[in-house]
Amino acid sequence: MTSSLHIGEEVSGALAAGLPVVALESTIFSGMGLPSPANRECLERCDAAIRDGGAIPALTAVIDGIGVVGVEAGDIDRVLAGSAKVAARDLPFAVATSLDVGVTTVSATVTLAAAAGISVFATGGIGGVHRGSELTGDISHDLLAMSRHPVATVSAGAKAFLDLPGTLEYLETMGVPVVGWNTDRFPAFYTRDSGVGVTATVRTGADVAEMMTAAADLGHPGGVLVANPIPEAAELDPDRINAALDAALAEVAAKGLRGPAVTPLVLAAIADATDGDSIPANLALAENNAIVAAEIASAVAAG
Ligand code: PSU
Ligand code: MN
């Protein structure tokens, strides 16, 4: 290990023993992903779901200038209160300048997970190709990062404020397999069907573990995106959520926002526009992703 990377005690013990481990990002659990106290509840539910599934959770963050995989209990409050969003390309600067607390996005998490030797990661939703990207150039580094590191990312698809067909095209260009978890539809975070299909369906953790092994055997780099729809009981009404998304996008446009500030503002605006109903949905889908990730990690560990 280097001074740039620290693996928490429980996680390093699990890795050494060959036990299943599931990485977690931290932006979703900070105020930039979910408001307090839902952020803490979300982390606790994801943590418990991973443990119930027989795996060890590994929350990632930058703490005191070190990329941490497996944030220790004493540092959790700092992560929940974190406000510096760290994508993969921000990691070198965060370490070099001893950033006190950085919350990791999907791209930073797949990078740190791969560095620690973890091959499964649960998130809420990934970043993607933004609507209007042909003018703004705004395409999340999440997509490229998934093509670089051999990590399976379990996500409830991506939010419909993105250009979802464009996001899937970009993943195809980058060579990232996108598989539906017991579905042939690409989910849109709060809703189970974005209207766009996926090319392959998986049914078990072993299916995904075998894909990862095959990719490694054949020299195909990068990971897999596992698209896991929100549970039916938690799904929001598509018309309502689409109206909220339009209002959120209008707010972003009116403020002239660009870059990494866009996603947190849209997330907060959606919570406002749905009178907070988006929050329990967000918690339910994150927990559901943690359950699936634990199943995949168990299959990976079983080899
Ligand atoms: N989408 C969500 N919730 C989130 C994010 C995305 O529904 O919390 C976060 C994730 O950490 C993701 C990041 O990796 O936003 C993408 O940010 P950007 O669009 O700036 O790449
Ligand atoms: Mn962006």
Q: How far apart, in Å, do the first and last CA atoms of the chain sit?
A: 24
pLDDT at 157: 96
* CA dihedral sign of residues 92, 68, 85, 153: positive
Q: Cite the beta strand spans of the chain per DSSP E.
A: 5-7, 21-24, 56-63, 66-69, 85-86, 101-104, 120-122, 152-155, 178-181, 200-202, 224-227
pLDDT at 271: 87
**For 219-262, what is each residue's pLDDT tens digit?**
999 999 999 999 999 999 999 999 988 888 898 889 988 888 88
What single-letter DSSP state applies at residue 34?
Answer: S
9 labelled catalytic: no
Domain of 129 in residue numbering reads as: 5-302
pTM over 0.95: yes
pLDDT bracket for residue 273 (50, 70, 90): confident
pLDDT at 170: 98
**For 40-99, what is each residue's pLDDT tens digit?**
999 999 999 999 999 999 999 999 999 999 999 999 999 999 999 999 999 999 999 999
44 labelled catalytic: no
Residue 199 CA to residue 186 CA, distance in Å, equals: 9
Residue 46 CA to residue 123 CA, distance in Å, equals: 9
Q: For residue 202, which phi and psi values (nearest 5 degrees)?
A: -115, 155
How many domains, in total, are found in the chain?
1
Residue 91 CA to residue 111 CA, distance in Å, equals: 9
Q: Which atom of ligand 1 is nearest to the CA of 27?
A: 11
**The domain that contains 92 carries what CATH number?**
3.40.1790.10
The alpha carbon of 90 and the centre of ligand 1 are apart by a number of angstroms equal to 14
